[in-house]
Structure 1
Amino acid sequence: MKLASIAFAAGMAVAASVAGAQELKFANFTPPFHTVNASVIEKLNADMSAASGGSVTVRGYHGGELGAGPVEQYVRAVQGVADMTWGLPGYTSSQFQKTMIVEMPGVVPDGKCGCDALWDAMDEIKGEFPGTVPVALWTSEPNIMIMRDKVIRTPADLQGLKIRVAGATAAEVATALGATPVQMPINQVYNALETGLIDGVFTGSSTLDDFKLDEVANSFTIGAPLGRLAFFAVMGQGSYGALSAEAKAVVDGAIGRGVSTSAETAWNATGEAGVARARGDAKNTFVDLTAEEAAAFAALVMPVTESYVASVGGEAALAAMQK
């Protein structure tokens, strides 16, 4: 009887676990080889599965399976098309005005993770994430110049060139340097470079591997203070609210700074690997700016940071990011 009772109880526990199983859909507009998959989606799945005994899991839907447009990722979480999504604040800059302060040159202090800067400022920026629960916030490696047939050594070399930017903050930086900013999602940049629609792009070097940009670019300038990109992963408030108390506890334990640090560390590693590989290609020219050469760019872009912060009333957010 005792053994039978134990077996019955164990069977009931397994049945309850299966009955309460929750697979969260994570929409990914990029292919599964993109850095976000292992560093965010698979990490969330592993952490939640371990914490719940396998009853709460995360499944990635890659390549835009739940909707291809990068710009629409946030609203897909709000509307419940997916439980979780990731994207760039820059694609809808007007929504994330204070969040995007972190993208500006000189904002993230040396030695501080951009993800920590964002979480430290959460009290100031949380209103920019309506209808969602922030899952991860992080930044890219510092932006570099990725160009086609244009070698950039001084700001004068950028005059009049068409430069793709992700959002409003990078557009202000490009304008300050004399370039013409062209805003477009990253998945359109390869073709735009290949066809000459743009002359180059200010973005992180992780795009060399994640989006193969070195296949259509041949000049890279490193060391100018161009800021960085910000990213988010969010869960729709509706999806979160529908979870049981136990499942919410699992989700709460997996989101936040830990997965954000995982993402930023992976972005930096991908960027470093991409640069190392591209340096080995004889077709490519690399310009590594000296401190003096970088200062010429800094003189033009640093005032942009101060102006932008003032324009969005972001003084408190800036202070929190830099503490």
Structure 2
Amino acid sequence: MTFPIRAALAVLLFAAPAMGPATPAAAETLRFAHFVAPTHTLTEAIVTPLTTGVAPSGLVIRTYPAGELGAGPAEQYVRAVQGVADIVWGLPGYTSSQFPLSMLTEYPGALPQGMSGADFLWNGHEAGLLAREYPATEPLALWTAEPAVLVTRDRAVRAPSDLAGLKIRVSGSVTSGVVQALGAIPVQMPAGDVYNALQTGLVDGVIIGSSGISDFRFDEVLGHVTLGIPLGNQAFYVVANAARVEALPEAERAALRAVSGRDLSRHAEAAWNARGAAAIGGLRARDGVVVDLTGAEIAAFEAVLLPLTEAAIAGLGAEAAIAAMRGAE
């Protein structure tokens, strides 16, 4: 044995005790990107249960709120696919053409009375109906907001004719069609821009779940909120990059999947519903703000809007799909 080799062995033998036992692999960290403030309902509904639920496995979920990984809610899905983020929250309505079946919930009357949007969407997902709508990702949560309401700046709305010519903010193509059917003008913009648009009169109103009234402080700039118009339920998704999930250590991957899915989605929907009910409750303390339609007034809106839903389902050839999503045998 030559001296250099003996010296090298001596160095290794001397150093070995100092190295100690092998250390475990560092915990994986997933980046969760969204575009709203940490005070938004999303934190309570999704971020906290998902983050705390996977923690015992060692998996870390780090959240990047308010567009920290890229501005623009319409680009959320692409961020997950491209790996800019590992998990994203988004709205199908911002890229409507990608999500025709997921957005069925947004049609007036499409979601059966008493059925949660979470169950409607997970029925579709588990039946394999939504696979084309979520390529290269794994859905972690699919749910809907509480029934949408009509927020207006200064006009109380009790009949379809009251909407004629008004500029109404919408989130996607389905709500845009609803607004046009009612004789109003749809204006698409991110929810974060609506406060200023309402305040300045750039729009006359907005169709949104009532939770959005408090989440985006619309209560500061609205004049009226009309309840009872069949305006559908806005859909949401939380998806993860599928390849990133598969690359996780088995225990961490299992932990992520265990705290995701239908139950997480139901939890999120319950949080949205609770926030929405609280927002309306707060507005009822202000005289004349909340407009509760009578049965006859609701029927007048249904006469305009329910045929729109029937035509859309037929146009999509989605009769069998919506039956499965509703849980029909």
Q: Is the 8 A contact 2:228 2:292 kept in 1?
A: yes
Write out per-residue CA displacement over residues 168-212 of structure 1, whole angstroms, 9 at most, x where no aligned residue: 111111111111111111111111111111110111100111101
Counterpart among 301, 311, 322 of residue 318 in structure 1:
322
Q: Is the 8 A contact 2:283 2:289 kept in 1?
A: no
Instruction: Indicate yes or no: 2:266 matched with 1:261.
Output: yes
The 1:12–1:227 alpha-carbon spacing in structure 2 relative to 1, beyond 3 Å, is: farther
Let me know the Cα RMSD of the aligned residues: 1.5
In structure 2, the partner of 1:162 is 167
AA aligned to 1:304 is: L
Instruction: Indicate yes or no: 2:295 matched with 1:288.
Output: no
Cα distance in 2, alignment partners of residues 125 and 312 from structure 1: 14
AA aligned to 1:185 is: P
Cα distance in 2, alignment partners of residues 224 and 309 from structure 1: 20
In structure 2, the partner of 1:48 is 54
In structure 2, the partner of 1:73 is 76
The 1:158–1:241 alpha-carbon spacing in structure 2 relative to 1, beyond 3 Å, is: same
Counterpart among 138, 146, 157 of residue 141 in structure 1:
146
Counterpart among 228, 242, 246 of residue 251 in structure 2:
246
Counterpart among 58, 62, 74 of residue 65 in structure 2:
62
Write out per-residue CA displacement over residues 234-271 of structure 1, whole angstroms, 9 at most, x where no aligned residue: 00123213212222211111210111011100000010
In structure 1, the partner of 2:206 is 201
Q: Which moved more, 1:308-317 or 1:107-116?
A: 308-317
Instruction: Indicate yes or no: 2:91 matched with 1:88.
Output: yes
Cα distance in 2, alignment partners of residues 285 and 258 from structure 1: 35
Cα distance in 2, alignment partners of residues 30 and 20 from structure 1: 30
Structure 2 unaligned blocks of 5 or more: 1-19
Cα distance in 2, alignment partners of residues 277 and 28 from structure 1: 27
User: Identity across aligned pairs (percent)?
Assistant: 49
TM-score for both structures, normalised by structure 2: 0.90
AA aligned to 2:271 is: A
Counterpart among 204, 217, 237 of residue 242 in structure 2:
237
AA aligned to 1:22 is: E
Q: Is the 8 A contact 2:117 2:233 kept in 1?
A: no
AA aligned to 2:303 is: A
Q: Is the 8 A contact 1:78 1:238 kept in 2?
A: no
Q: Which moved more, 1:304-313 or 1:204-213?
A: 304-313
The 1:193–1:238 alpha-carbon spacing in structure 2 relative to 1, beyond 3 Å, is: same
Name the SS for the 1:137 alignment partner: strand
Write out per-residue CA displacement over residues 39-84 of structure 1, whole angstroms, 9 at most, x where no aligned residue: 101110111113x1xx112121111111121111111111111110
AA aligned to 1:308 is: A
1:316 shift after superposition: 2.3
Cα distance in 2, alignment partners of residues 266 and 211 from structure 1: 16
Name the SS for the 2:240 alignment partner: strand
Name the SS for the 1:121 alignment partner: helix
Cα distance in 2, alignment partners of residues 285 and 236 from structure 1: 43
1:12 shift after superposition: 6.6
Cα distance in 2, alignment partners of residues 28 and 38 from structure 1: 14
Q: Which moved more, 1:269-278 or 1:239-248?
A: 239-248
TM-score for both structures, normalised by structure 1: 0.91
Counterpart among 133, 147, 153 of residue 128 in structure 1:
133
Q: Is the 8 A contact 1:103 1:228 kept in 2?
A: yes
AA aligned to 1:133 is: E
Cα distance in 2, alignment partners of residues 216 and 295 from structure 1: 29
Q: How many residues align?
A: 306
Q: Is the 8 A contact 1:102 1:321 kept in 2?
A: no
In structure 2, the partner of 1:3 is none
